[in-house]
Structure 1
């Protein structure tokens, strides 16, 4: 096997292990390249079908093209699609774009809190009705005991402290200093009752690995990643008030692969266009301790 084959094989193995070990399992889909690769791997792992509900946290500040992409491929790939939101914060305008909270507080309200309560089933969830082509209130409020996430260790500092199977408590709080050892591809999947587990099949992948895999597999991704003629593209996707593009003339996947191989971004963080990271001093550890993806 070549390098990408080995990565794919390991990720598929982790996906199958997670599916066999955890009863109520979900998979987070941020609509970005990493979580989209994760969906693609799940389709491979389960022979074209994704037997795990996909969960998206809708802040209502995502770039519109991202939501269009989500719904298009959720329907095309026949995905069991769920989204959640922090309706209270949105209705009371406790957001950064409304000028009432900081970027980090906004991320906590619209992402971390919304994610926690969506996974726990405390707040309303919306499920795609494939027959009608619309989202409806989900009557199933059962909590997810495990969730698969497209986190990569090289993407941001706090993510490098994760494990493939990373336990949280029932409030989704992450004790990053108390994680189980994982040696020789041996993973701990037996946790005490009430433990919420995050599973990270892409932990060893790099940004270049992701794009080379997208190139090899011809995976459709949001066009925001490509230069549309203005000499700029998004390297990392988030909410539009806090995400800026990078200078780049890469117009397709092949261009991005070549650009990364030149080392153009070798000393520039992948999330350098995410303003909330700078507000947090360059790291997201505190937010991630509270459940931020």
Structure 2
């Protein structure tokens, strides 16, 4: 089997295992390349259907292109879309740096959505190679009552053997593409012809490697205007994927604090 077939098969196995084991499941949809690829594989895993709600935690600060993308494909793919609002930044932890404090709004919005809908588990499109704190994650990651994450106490996972029988009240974050890389996502998106927000491609010599809120996400210098050019660029670049994220340039522990509190 080709590499993409192998990792796709692993992801589909995880998706079906999560659907089988978790009573009330949903998937987070950030509208970025990773969550689009994950949502695409959910549709493949369940024969063109998404059998659980699709959650978008909306800060109100996304790019217009992202909102247009959401409305089009929520309709085209007949998604049960649930949009959650976020509280104002003034209600967030004042000890966080500015960009991390802004990003913390998504955590608060997500917690409110979980409380309202009673989701026992969430599928999330994060990857280990994306950021150092995310490299500590497990595929089936148990969370505390307030959705807090203890990265020092995670179950072992060997040879695709996952612990799924946690105690009552445990909230699970499931990460089906944890084993993928950025270039895997792009190669898979090309092979499958997955729709992608156009901001990922170069305009006037700059493009976005990672998409977030307009005020804390910035483009990087790049001439890659097609998916083939993006793939070629990734084979040579030394620019980090999240170099355009303001919060990644703040205090070293800011992202880990956000993740421990329930950030995606």
Which TM-score tier does this pair reach, normalised by the shorter chain? Answer: over 0.9
The count of corresponding residues between Structure 1 and Structure 2 is: 260
Task: Find the counterpart in structure 1 of residue 41 from structure 2.
Answer: 41
- Residue 123 (structure 2) aligns with: 148
Structure-2 residue corresponding to 1:15: 15
Q: 2:82 — aligned with what?
A: 82
1:107 aligns with 2:103: yes
Render the CA deviation track for 1:11-44: whole Å, top value 9, x for unaligned.
0000000000001101000000000000000000
1:159 aligned residue: 134
How far apart are 1:94 and its partner, in Å? 5.6
- Determine the structure 2 residue equivalent to 1:173: 148
Cα shift readout 1:202-255 (whole Å, capped 9, x = no counterpart): 001000000000010010100000012x00000000001111101111111111
Match of 2:246 in 1: 275
Q: Distance in 2 between matches of 1:42 and 1:272?
A: 29
Native 8 Å contact 2:100 2:254 kept in 1: no
Partner of 1:250: 224
1:118 is aligned to 2:92: no
Q: 1:207 to 1:282 in 2, by over 3 A?
A: farther
TM-score by length of 2: 0.95
1:215-230 map, 5 Å: 215-228=190-203, 230=204
Q: How far apart are 1:182 and its partner, in Å?
A: 0.5
Query: Which aligned runs of 4 or more in structure 1 are off by greater than 6 angstroms?
Result: none
Q: 1:278 & 1:183 partners in 2: Cα distance?
A: 33
Cα deviation code 1:114-163 (max 9, x no counterpart): 11111121xxxxxxxxxxxxxxxxxxxx3100000001000000000001
Query: In the aligned structure 2, how far is the partner of 1:49 from the partner of 1:74?
Result: 12
1:45-69 CA-to-partner distances (Å, cap 9, x unmatched) read 0000010211011000111111110
TM-score in terms of structure 1 length: 0.86
Tell me, yes or no, if the aligned pair for 2:150 and 2:260 is still in contact at 8 Å: yes
The SS at the match of 2:102 is helix
Q: CA deviation at 1:86?
A: 2.2
Describe the shift of the 1:280–1:55 C-alpha distance in structure 2 as closer, same or farther (beyond 3 A).
farther
Kindly indicate whether the alpha-carbon contact (under 8 Å) linking 2:15 and 2:45 is maintained by their aligned counterparts in 1. Answer: yes
Q: Distance in 2 between matches of 1:94 and 1:290?
A: 15
> 2:213 matched to 1:239?
yes
Structure 1 residue 282 displacement after superposition: 7.2
Q: Pick from 244, 256, 260: which aligns with 1:285?
A: 256
Conservation of the 8 A alpha-carbon contact between 1:104 and 1:280:
no
Matching of residue 183 in structure 1 with residue 183 in structure 2: no
Distance in 2 between residues matched to 1:11 and 1:280, nearest whole Å: 33
> SS state of the match for residue 60, structure 1?
coil
